[in-house]
Amino acid sequence: MNKNAFIISVLLAFFACFPVLFSNPYWIGVLNDIWLYAILGLSLNWIVGHTGLFNLGHAAYYAVGAYTAAILSTRYNIPILWLLPVAGAAAGLFALAVARPIIHLRGDYLAIVTIGVGEIVRIALENDIFGLTGGSNGIFGIPRPEIFDMRIRRPWQFYYLIGGFLLITIWFFYRLEQSRFGRALNYIKEDETAAEGSGINTAWYKLAAFVIGAVWAGMAGTLFAAKMTIISPGSFNFWESVLIFAIVILGGAGSIPGVILGAFLLVGLPEFFRNFADARMLFFGAAMVLMMIFRNKGLLPPLARKYAGVPRVKGGDA
């Protein structure tokens, strides 16, 4: 067994045994939130970290997935886990419709437009669009998920459900990152003009990356709805998008381990300093400013790609 396989085996064993070793429901619940935001961070990382598109409205696709699953499960009694692909498809189709006319925008212009998209979705939900979303009160009574006739309701059960989906997410995006598709996105991020000159259809690749990230955010929204059993527009506001974006940037855009670390720091760490509620965000904000000054590529930036027969270039991330 090589070193990497050994480390992965140890981490998986610790992951499997955590609810037994630390049986406090509160901290298991906190870890569930970390897992969920790690999934959201990885979905946005595919758009921001690998494609270089500044999306500050990612909570909109999270909301579309959550509301799609909530509406179908409460109105038609469909098991909510069956709705994972349906919610993902709904979020992906919405992203396709939204991103197609704006995908040519770059930098700050794209960021501003995506902020607007997120706010439009939130306001539409608050206004009870088509009489389906429940307005500001949201949707109540979302059924708990079931696996093999076992109803999932306890924190340790959600720990395995959301954690298992996180492992699938890591595997999926890692394989996608190593594929030809992932390499094309990396070229676009580094130099879009050169990528176009090489024959890459940059508009198509950027749109595909946007849709893939939205699909995964929509499925994460289904898990959120199943966990909370109640959703409202307030759970998908602009600051939710900012938090997901900060997770990606803090950990290291384009880095899977970095995004997971970012989720731990931004979601989990504040819980440890809850007793210092008045000052914790002040110190945390100062720490982020210092980090961006001295580690402006994130805490765990991605390693440079290494191609067969080509030596790795130090300091690069292409």
Residue 89's beta-bridge partner residues?
none
Place of tokens 């394989």: 175
Consecutive H or E run containing 204: helix 202-228
Give the pair of three-digit tokens for residue 201. Answer: 């259809």
Give the pair of three-digit tokens for residue 236. Answer: 């998908």
- Higher pLDDT pick, 22 / 233: 233
CATH of domain 25-294: 1.10.3470
Per-residue pLDDT tens digits for 14-65: 677 767 667 778 888 888 999 999 999 999 999 998 888 889 999 999 999 9
For position 297, what pLDDT does the model report? Answer: 79
Rounded-to-integer distance, Cα 142 and Cα 77, Å: 9
| pLDDT over 90 (residue 190) | no
For position 65, what pLDDT does the model report? Answer: 96
Listed by start position, the domains of the chain span 25-294
Task: List phi, psi (to 5°) of 129.
Answer: -60, 130
Q: Are 153 and 144 in contact (CB under 8 A)?
A: yes
Q: What is the pTM of this model?
A: 0.89
Q: How far lies 308's CA from each of 202, 218, 284, 305, 312, in Å? A: 25, 36, 42, 10, 10
Of the listed ranges 60-64, 131-135, 212-216, 218-222, the least confidently predicted one is 131-135
The tally of CA atoms less than 13 A away on the side-chain side of residue 76 is 11
Rounded-to-integer distance, Cα 215 and Cα 96, Å: 10
| pLDDT over 60 (residue 2) | no
Neighbours of 5 (CB within 10 A): 9
